[in-house]
């Protein structure tokens, strides 16, 4: 396969679209923003929820071997001692003796400050975990951390889940939630921020079967991204060299995506061995193991961890979906979003603002929104309204015109093909459902189906 050299869209265009259409705003914008923190606006929150729901459905609800969890962000400080984060979750930083700015020494090109050319200090390790305090006293005894990964919540609940679900190996625990890292180098929009969301799986397997499960999860996760509509040529596997493995990992492969700034990590899939269960068993004094009924012995499972970022998946689906073309004689920007994740599935557009069309259009809108997130727009020309929906990735528009009042039919317009079909209102919902499910057909009032070529 030949790799594309460059992403189709640049970051500026994406940031501008996200800002203009209410996908993403800078955090606390009226105060000048807070570096590397972002707010998801009305369309962004829908797209983000749809991504998380798609992951949850496929990874938890549609599998027999997975249990869901929602553990707390604040955890006992010993968790982070045992996990190695207090000791090892740090970047090497140097400080400029002139302007006092700090830089990651492993990312600096030379030995002078890139800002003012000043002399730099020797590198010192800077821990990336945010510290805070529980209770009213701010002393060492009350220090807690905002979790830098959701994973630890799953390890410390291993026994609870085993006892309450009676799962047998191999099985996984999955959760989606916020994580926090006081990143030194941020930027590239939502790619690297200080507060972000992860979708993580800890999959417990018998030692000796770990390589086979590692390979299974790499394939499974690549297929999941493809199912979201991301093009396979924009995804690439990058196995880690031994020297760059995290302290807990025996092996790791990143799924990289061709972002506007180049290939970069979308998800990491690691073989964590028995590191985490052994560490927490030692630190807590609890025997975190699995009793094998057949062999009549306790074993400590190995863990395969597919760890994905919600925000990076959001950015990847937007990059992948972005397109510019010409429609109905005008240039348009459009997002070819998969219907499962599009923020708005259907927009109802009365052809004109005239009072006569509004009641029927509003009735259709009220009916359709029982089933999906539906938009309603009657401002400006129909062409402008189609453009607006294309730009936010709405797969289908339903146009109500004056003939609709007579013949009780409406027009469905497809975002990608620009094809328009006229369907009876009574079979509109069934037709849209079929189309949202990816079937290229429309349903007749008697329930019959006509395939469109
Ligand atoms: N539990 C393993 C773990 O956290 P990681 O590679 O550090 O591994 C997993 O993070 C995923 O979380 C990354 O692939 C990325 O998608 C996301 N992620 C990590 N740091 C991030 C940040 N600062 N901003 C946005 N997403 C981040």
The tens digit of pLDDT for each residue in 352-362 reads 888 899 999 99
Q: Which of 4-13, 136-145, 231-240, 347-356 has the lowest mean pLDDT?
A: 4-13
How far away, in angstroms, is 284 Cα from ligand 1 center?
26
312 CB near ligand 1 (under 6 Å) = yes
Cis peptide before 170 (omega within 30 of 0): yes
Using pLDDT thresholds of 50, 70 and 90, give the confidence band for residue 453. Answer: very low
Q: What percent of the chain has pLDDT over 70?
A: 98
Using pLDDT thresholds of 50, 70 and 90, give the confidence band for residue 451. Answer: low
Q: Kindly report the protein residue whose alpha carbon is nearest to atom 20 of ligand 1.
A: 192
Element (H, E) at 20: helix 11-20
pLDDT digits (tens, 9 = 90+) for 259-283: 999 999 999 999 999 999 999 999 9
Cα 206 from Cα 340, distance rounded (Å)? 35
Atom of ligand 1 nearest to the CA of 181: 23
Exposed, middle or buried by CB within 10 Å (0-12, 13-18, 19+), for 256? middle
Q: Which of 38, 238, 307, 317 to mutate to test the pocket of ligand 1 (most atoms within 8 A of CB)?
A: 307
Average pLDDT over residues 170-183: 97
> Higher confidence at residue 412 or residue 443?
412
170 CB near ligand 1 (under 6 Å) = no
Task: List, in order, residues 6 or more apart from 391 with CB less than 8 Å away.
Answer: 17, 21, 332, 333, 334, 335
Reference 344, options 443, 399, 415, 411; nearest CA is 415
pLDDT at 452 over 80: no
Q: Tokens 């209770």, residue?
A: 135
Asked if 217 and 227 count as a contact pair (C-beta separation under 8 A), the reply is no
151 CB near ligand 1 (under 6 Å) = yes
pLDDT digits (tens, 9 = 90+) for 83-98: 999 988 888 889 899 9
How far away, in angstroms, is 150 Cα from ligand 1 center?
10
| Lookup: tokens for 60 | 């938890």
Residue 79: what pLDDT? 97
Cα 35 from Cα 128, distance rounded (Å)? 15
Q: Kindly report the protein residue whose alpha carbon is nearest to atom 21 of ligand 1.
A: 192
| Lookup: tokens for 361 | 């259009």
220 CB near ligand 1 (under 6 Å) = no
pLDDT at 2 over 60: no
Reference 367, options 414, 336, 400, 416; nearest CA is 400
148 CB near ligand 1 (under 6 Å) = no
What phi and psi, each to the nearest 5 degrees, are found at residue 346?
Answer: -145, 140
| Lookup: tokens for 303 | 């863990």
> Higher confidence at residue 52 or residue 445?
52
pLDDT digits (tens, 9 = 90+) for 302-321: 999 999 999 999 999 999 99
| Lookup: tokens for 208 | 């000796």
Inter-axis angle of helices 428-436 and 358-368, nearest 10: 50
Asked if 128 and 91 count as a contact pair (C-beta separation under 8 A), the reply is yes
Q: What angle do CA 124, 125, 129 make, to 5 degrees?
A: 145
* 105, HSE (Cβ side, Cα atoms, 13 Å): 16
Asked if 394 and 409 count as a contact pair (C-beta separation under 8 A), the reply is no
Cα 28 from Cα 106, distance rounded (Å)? 31
Residue 1: what pLDDT? 46
> Higher confidence at residue 5 or residue 18?
18
Cα 197 from Cα 53, distance rounded (Å)? 13
| Lookup: tokens for 181 | 């890292």
Using pLDDT thresholds of 50, 70 and 90, give the confidence band for residue 227. Answer: very high
Residue 193: what pLDDT? 95
What phi and psi, each to the nearest 5 degrees, are found at residue 6?
Answer: -145, 145
Cα 277 from Cα 255, distance rounded (Å)? 25
Atom of ligand 1 nearest to the CA of 312: 16
Q: What percent of the chain has pLDDT over 90?
A: 80
Q: Which of 265, 303, 313 to mutate to test the pocket of ligand 1 (most atoms within 8 A of CB)?
A: 265
268 CB near ligand 1 (under 6 Å) = yes
pLDDT at 449 over 80: no
User: For all residues of the chain together, what is the average pLDDT?
Assistant: 93
Atom of ligand 1 nearest to the CA of 310: 16
Residue 294: what pLDDT? 86
Element (H, E) at 312: helix 310-321
- CA dist 188 to 7, 57, 303, 327, Å? 14, 29, 31, 31
197 CB near ligand 1 (under 6 Å) = no
pLDDT digits (tens, 9 = 90+) for 31-82: 999 999 999 999 999 999 999 999 999 999 999 999 999 999 999 999 999 9
């Amino acid at each position: 396969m030949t790799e594309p050299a460059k992403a189709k869209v640049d970051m500026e265009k994406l940031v501008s679209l996200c800002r203009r259409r209410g996908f993403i705003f800078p955090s606390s914008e009226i105060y000048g923003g807070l570096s590397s923190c972002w707010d998801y606006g009305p369309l962004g929150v829908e797209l983000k929820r749809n991504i998380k729901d798609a992951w949850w459905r496929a990874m938890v609800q549609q599998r027999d071997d997975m249990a869901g969890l929602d553990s707390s962000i604040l955890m006992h400080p010993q968790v982070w001692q045992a996990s190695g984060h207090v000791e090892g979750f740090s970047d090497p930083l140097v400080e400029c003796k002139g302007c006092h700015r700090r830089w990651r020494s492993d990312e600096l090109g030379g030995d002078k400050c890139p800002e003012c050319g000043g002399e730099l200090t020797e590198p010192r390790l800077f821990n990336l975990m945010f510290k805070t305090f529980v209770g009213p006293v701010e002393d060492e005894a009350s220090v807690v951390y905002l979790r830098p990964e959701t994973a630890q919540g799953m390890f410390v609940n291993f026994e609870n889940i085993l006892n309450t679900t009676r799962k047998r190996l191999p099985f996984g625990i999955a959760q989606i939630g916020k994580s926090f890292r006081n990143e030194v180098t941020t930027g590239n929009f939502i790619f690297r921020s200080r507060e972000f969301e992860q979708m993580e799986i800890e999959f417990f397997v018998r030692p000796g079967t770990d390589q086979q499960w590692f390979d299974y999860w790499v394939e499974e996760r690549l297929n999941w991204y493809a199912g979201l509509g991301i093009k396979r040529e924009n995804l690439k596997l990058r196995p880690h060299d031994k020297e760059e493995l995290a302290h807990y990992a025996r092996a790791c492969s990143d799924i990289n995506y061709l972002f506007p700034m180049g290939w970069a990590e979308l998800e990491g899939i690691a073989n964590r061995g028995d590191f985490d269960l052994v560490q927490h068993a030692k630190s807590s004094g609890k025997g975190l193991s699995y009793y094998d009924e057949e062999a009549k012995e306790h074993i400590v499972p190995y863990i395969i961890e597919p760890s994905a970022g919600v925000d990076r998946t959001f950015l990847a689906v937007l990059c992948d979906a972005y397109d510019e073309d010409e429609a109905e004689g005008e240039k348009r920007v459009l997002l070819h979003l998969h219907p499962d994740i599009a923020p708005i599935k259907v927009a109802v557009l009365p052809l004109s603002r005239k009072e006569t069309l509004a009641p029927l259009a509003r009735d259709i809108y009220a009916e359709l929104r029982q089933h999906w997130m539906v938009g309603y727009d009657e401002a400006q020309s129909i062409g402008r309204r189609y453009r607006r929906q294309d730009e936010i990735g709405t797969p289908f528009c339903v146009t109500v015109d004056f003939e609709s009042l007579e013949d009780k039919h409406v027009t469905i317009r497809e975002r990608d093909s620009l094809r328009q079909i006229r369907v009876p209102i009574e079979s509109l919902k069934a037709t849209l459902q079929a189309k949202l499910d990816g079937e290229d057909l429309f349903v007749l009032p008697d329930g019959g189906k006509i395939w469109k070529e």
